[in-house]
Structure 1
Amino acid sequence: MLRGNLRRALALVRNRTHREEPLRVTLYERAGCALCEETHRALRRIALDRALEIQRVDIDGDGSIRDVYTLRVPVLRLGDDELDTAGLEDRAIARWLAAVG
C-alpha cells in the first residue's frame, strides 16, 4: 500500500514540476524481453526528472515493424533518431534524450 501511495505522490510532484511539453519516446520491444523491460524501467526513472510520454510498441504485432527491429530490440525512437538500448545505463539514455530532444 505504501509503495502505491509513494508512486501517486511522485506522479503528482512530477506533474507539477514538468512544465515543458513531454518528449514523446517510442520503445520498440517484444514480450518476454528482459532488456526491453529494463529499458522501460530506465525510462520511468528518467521520467522522474524529465517529462516523457512513453509509447510501447510490441514489434511482434506488425510484420513490417518486426522485420526492421527483430534483431535490435530494445530500440528507442524520438522523431527520426533511434537508439539501440541493450545494455545501456540510465545516464547514457538520458544523455541521448537531451541531445536529440
Structure 2
Amino acid sequence: MGKTLTLYTRKGCPLCEELATEVHALLAETGHTLVPVDVDANPALKAEYGWEVPLLFDGDTEICRHQLNLPAFQEWLRFNP
C-alpha cells in the first residue's frame, strides 16, 4: 500500500504549484499519493510554517522545502518503492 505525502502550500504560490506538478509526475505509478494542505486555512500551520511553503513531508519527516530536492526525493523513493 502506498504512502501519503503532504504538501504544505498556499493559494497563488507559483513555487507550490511547481513542486506539486513535479511530485505528481514522480509519484505516477508508484501507488503513493500527494495531499495538498493550505497552511492559510489552519492558524497553527500558518504560525508554524509562515512563508516557508512549499514543504513536502512524509508524516513528520521533511523531504523538500521551497523546491524539489531531487536527490532527497529519489532517496525517499528508494526506501519507499
Query: What band does the TM-score fall into relative to the shorter chain?
Result: 0.7 to 0.9
Number of matched residues?
80
CA contact (8 A) 1:73 1:84 kept: no
Pair member with larger Rg: 1
Identify unmatched segments of 5+ residues in structure 1.
1-20
1:29 aligns with 2:9: yes
Q: Which gives a bigger RCO, structure 1 or 2 (Cα 8 Å, sep 6+)?
A: 2
CA contact (8 A) 2:55 2:62 kept: yes
1:12-91 alignment runs, 5 A limit: 21-88=1-68, 91=70
Question: Percent identity, aligned pairs only?
Answer: 26
Q: Mind listing any 5+ residue stretches in structure 2 that lack a counterpart?
A: none
Choose between structure 1 and 2: higher helix proportion. Answer: 1
Runs of 4+ in 1 over 6 A off after TM superposition: none
Q: Give the superposed CA RMSD.
A: 2.0
Contact 2:22 2:68 in 1 (8 A): no
Give the TM-score of the pair, scaled to structure 1: 0.67
Residues 96 and 29 of structure 1, relative CA distance in 2, 3 Å threshold: farther
Name the structure where strand makes up a greater proportion of residues. Answer: 2
Report the alpha carbon displacement of residue 48 of structure 1 after superposing the two structures with TM. Answer: 1.7
